[in-house]
Chain A
Amino acid sequence: MPVRGKPFKACRRCKALVDKKAEVCPICGSREFTDDWEGMIIVINPEASELAKELGITKPGRYALKVT
């Protein structure tokens, strides 16, 4: 079976997952990205989500859990 590539790249600063073609992180404005990430949290409602609060996420979106 062919190995599927990861659909996103992760921002090194805020861990946000963005499209592979994006040049600037829409969350923090950083330009440093990595393909080496693991785990994902999709925050839909950051005010209600206790996990988002614990992770310090304030904006809805997709984030990596581990970035190396």
Chain B
Amino acid sequence: MARGKPIYRAVRTIAGRAIDVALIVENRIKSYNEELMKKRETSPSEEIIIEEKPIEIYSIIVTPGSKAYVYFEAANSASIFKAIKNIKYIKSERLVPVAKEELMRLIKPKPVIEMINVRDIVEIVKGPFRGMRAQVLSVDRNKNVVMLSILEAQFNVPITVPADYVKPVKKTVSGV
């Protein structure tokens, strides 16, 4: 059977319970679909095949940092409603539509090193130089480190820090 494009929906949960909700829904989907398969095998009447459809949720996502939302990738909204019914940790059973791109941005953030180029201005967010601004002297994408020159320092001493320690502040226009 040809599948349509999946839909993406968010459901609000009680704070800190998103992982619990995801695990409960996972169990429900598995047991519901297994039972339905058994039922279809033992009494393959048309009624069951037409009326009772399996829960078609493809994946359940709890994004890093978010503690009160669970995201679903499913074939249809009916499947999600069926799966989240009467879970006490769910605050509202209203489904919030989410774009796939938005969800991808949440689950797979672009590594900082890919956004940094030589001569960019960055802010150091970790380590002994935290809070200082610096200019990028070189980027080593293999080792995931950047060489910086701290703007506030009186002497120009290049330092090497892991790329995760910096946050891009200002991009330099290429060719300038």
Chain B residues, Cβ within 8 Å of A43? 58-59
Q: How large is the interface on A (under 10, 10 to 19, 20 to 34, 35 or more residues)?
A: 10 to 19
CA distance in complex: A51, B59 (Å): 8
Question: Count the B residues whose beta carbon is within 8 Å of the partner chain — how many?
Answer: 26
Q: Does A38 lie at the interface of the complex (its beta carbon under 8 Å from any beta carbon of B)?
A: yes
B60 and A48: CB pair below 8 A?
A: no
Q: Is there contact, CB below 8 Å, between A65 and B63?
A: yes
CB-CB < 8 A to A66: which residues of B?
A: 64
**Which of B3, B61, B75 is the one whose CB lies under 8 Å from A51?**
B61
B14 to chain A, nearest CB (A): 12
Alpha-carbon separation in the docked complex, A26 to B6 (Å): 28
Among A7, A39, A50, A65, contact of B100 (Cβ-Cβ < 8 Å): A50
Q: Report A30-66 CB contacts with B as 1/0, cut-off 8 Å.
A: 0000000011111111001111101100000010011
Are B62 and A52 in contact, CB atoms less than 8 angstroms apart?
A: no
A62: chain B residues within 8 A (beta carbon): 26
Q: Does B19 reach chain A (CB closer than 8 Å)?
A: yes
Assuming the A-B contacts A49-B58, A49-B59, A50-B73, are A38 and B64 also in contact, with contact meaning beta carbons closer than 8 angstroms in the complex? Answer: yes
For A54, list chain B residues within 8 Å (CB). Answer: 104, 108
Given A38-B65, A51-B73, A65-B63, A44-B107 contact (CB < 8 Å): no
A residues whose Cβ falls under 8 Å from a Cβ of B: 7, 38-45, 48-52, 54-55, 62, 65-66
Pick 27 A–B contacts, CB within 8 A, sort by A.
A7-B19, A7-B23, A38-B65, A39-B63, A39-B65, A40-B22, A41-B60, A42-B61, A43-B59, A44-B26, A44-B29, A44-B57, A45-B57, A48-B58, A49-B6, A50-B6, A50-B58, A51-B61, A51-B73, A51-B100, A51-B104, A54-B104, A54-B108, A55-B107, A62-B26, A65-B107, A66-B64
